[in-house]
Every structure is written in structure tokens, then in C-alpha cells.
Amino acid sequence: MPEITFVESLRMTLKEEMERDPSLMLIGEDIGRYGGIFGVTKGLLEEFGPHRVRSTPISESAIIGSALGAAMTGIRTVAELMYIDFTPVAMDQIVNQTAKMSYMSGGKAKVPMVIRTQEGGGRGNAAQHSQCLEALFLHIPGLKIVMPSNPYDARGLLKTAIRDDNPVMFIEHKLLYATKGSIPDGEYLIPFGQADIKRKGKDVTIVAISYMVTVALKAAARLAEEGIEAEVIDLRTLVPLDFDAILQSVRNTNRVVIVHEGCRTGGIGAEIAAQIQEEAFDYLDAPVARVGALNVPIPYSEPLENAVIPDEDDIVRAAKKVLYRG
């Protein structure tokens, strides 16, 4: 199959899953005729009709809450929140209702539901349209968290997410939408909790997610020019977390850099670093390094935004630091 974009991969997957499961419903803002502001749902209303592709008023709480109610009563649902920055508008429905429903009911309630959303900066969209909030959801037991880094993974992971009987936060990145990748013919699913080693290396482990995988790979190529072999791990899912993959790599390299675009403070790197020191303290030759955004909202102006969001240079610098070089 020729190369397709991230957006096309998502669209194709939604379409196939809707054909496969006649109850599957999509719900979200402007997802009908308009096809979503990133074009992910283009054509789906025409194909599946207004009961299965529900374009809503601007009502994030009701989108999530009604997706939950539908999911609990037999309608597998993919709810879309246009920006992850709007999840706080629906926070009660996500945190207090959706995430806890199975547990609170003693396992009686089944919640086959995906919340598709997108995050990230780099486009001058300023403080309320550029955040990376995955760590908020990592802190809430009861939500699976998926963060695909390329079109191939997006497809395999979205299939798994849709078929899962639990709530899944499926977090895309706006800078990935136009990126291309090749996808094999035929169906494939990528199981949750399986990290992907994107590059082998013996000197330092770089753990990354989402768009930062691309940036980490560029940094690794630069490090290679200086004779440093970095191993780059794409976590793909945060919940469940493939900690074994991290552990194995750390045992070989003895040095780790964790990279994410969200704030360093309280970011996913903090959790992973804590687990590493609990499980592999004796293997470490240097303190675990974290690369993440500065602890401020994302500013509009380009030089400020660039200063806040981590880049290749930051990763290279962190890798050298844990290697005590430069």
C-alpha cells in the first residue's frame, strides 16, 4: 500500500471498525459533514448516518457523559474532543464518572469507550490550545492511555482501543497529522503495553512518546555522529506501561533520558524515573534525566514557545549529561 498520512490512517481505521461493529458510534463537535477540523471523520456521516456519527453542539461534558452512558448500555463509542485543552471542561465526566465506573460498580459496568483527542504545541496556538496533558490522566486510575507516534501505530492501536471494553484516552499530536507512513494491507492490531524499540543502542536509553519520538530519533542520529549510540524507546501506551522494555534497556545502557512535551514538573517522566530508581537503582551510572517543557503555560510568541517546548538540542544535551560528556 502507498504511504498514507496519520489522518488518513485514523479515518480508515474508524471506517473499518464501524463496518465491523454495527453498534459503534462516533460523537463529537463538527465531526459530521465538516469531517472534523483535522478531517479525520470526513465521509463517515455520509456512509454511516447521523445516529452513528453524532455531531454535537459545543458541550464537552455532555459529549463525554453521554458517551459513557451509551457505552454502559451497549453502544461502543468513540468520543472526540477537538483539543486536549478542552478535556478540563469535561473533567468530572472523565475523572469521576468514566474512569471509576467499572471499579465503583464492583466490575459490573463495562465501559467500551475511547476518547480521541489531540495535543501539542509548535504552531503558535497559545496557552489554551497547545497543552500536553497526558500526565493528568496518568494520575487517574481507570483510564488506559495511548499515544501513537506514527500512522502505522495509530491504526493498530486505535483498533485495539476501540475493541477494548475499558475507557481509553487516545491522544494524538497535531504535528503528526500530516506525517506519512506505509501501512501493510490487511488487518493488524497492536496490543497495549508493548513498547517499540525504534533504534538500538548501547550507550544511553531515550524513552519518548508521541511526537517526541520523532524528535528523539533526530537527536539520536546527531549523537551517533559523535559516537554515542542511543537506544530510542517509543512507549506507545502509558497505561498499561511496558516497564520491562525500559528495564531491559536500562540494564544494558545504565543511563536514561525520558522525553515528553508536557511540563517536566509532574510529567510522565517523573513517574517513570521513580519506577526506574525503585527497580533498577543498582544499574544506573548516572541520575535519570528528564526532558520536558518549562513549567509555564505555552506562550504565543515564537521565540517564547521555542524556549518552552523541548527540542532536539535539549535531548542531545541531556544524553551527554548522563554520559558525563560535554
Partner 1 sequence: MTSRIDNKRCIKMYEQMLTIRHFEEKAIELFEHNLIRGNIHPCIGQEAVSVGVCTPLRRDDYMVNTHRGHGNCIAKGADLKLMMAELFGKSTGYCKGKGGSMHIADFQGGNLGANGIVGGGLPIAVGAGISIQNRETDQVAVCFFGDGATNQGTFHESLNLAALWKLPVIFVCENNLYGLSTPVRESISVVKISDRAMAYGIPGVSLDGNDIIAVYTAMKEAGERARAGEGPTLLDCITYRFYGHFTGDPGKGITYRSKEEMNQWLERCPIKRFRERLIKEKRITEKTEKTMEADVKASIEAAVKFAKESPLPLPEEALQDLFH
Residue 173 is a catalytic residue: no
Does residue 58 interact with ligand TPP by CB under 6 A? yes
299 contributes a contact to partner 1 by CB under 8 A: yes
| Contact between 91 and ligand TPP per CB under 6 A | no
Is 260 marked active-site? no
Q: Give the separation between CA 271 and CA 276, rounded to whole angstroms.
A: 9
Give the CA distances from residue 225 to residues 230, 253, 311, 313, 323, in Å, rounded to whole numbers and listed in that order.
11, 18, 18, 14, 15
Catalytic residue among 8, 17, 129, 261: 129
Q: Identify the three-state secondary structure at position 264.
A: coil
Among 3, 47, 58, 287, binds partner 1 (CB under 8 A): 58
Which residues on adjacent β-strands are paired with residue 80? 28, 116
- The one of ligand TPP, partner 1, none whose footprint includes residue 59, by CB under 5 to 8 A per kind, is partner 1
- Look at strands 113-119 and 77-81 and give their pairing: parallel
One symbol per residue from 60 to 79: x for binding ligand TPP (CB under 6 A), - otherwise; what is it?
x-------------------
Size of the site for ligand TPP (CB under 6 A): 6
Contact assessment for residue 181 and residue 9, using Cβ atoms and an 8 Å cutoff = yes
Bridge partner list, 126? none
Q: Is 222 exposed, middle or buried (0-12, 13-18, 19+ CB in 10 A)?
A: middle
Catalytic site residue from 60, 80, 261, 305: 60
* For ligand TPP, the closer CB: 125 or 252: 125
> Is residue 89 at the binding interface for ligand TPP, with CB under 6 A as the rule?
yes
* Closest to ligand TPP by CB, 88 or 266: 88
CB contact at 8 A, 149 and 211 = yes
Given a contact cutoff of 8 angstroms between Cβ atoms, the answer to whether 296 and 308 are in contact is: yes
Binding site for ligand TPP (CB under 6 A): 29, 58, 60, 82, 86, 89
Tell me the catalytic residues: 60, 129
Binding site for partner 1 (CB under 8 A): 29-30, 33-34, 37, 55-61, 85-86, 89, 123-129, 294-297, 299-304, 306-308
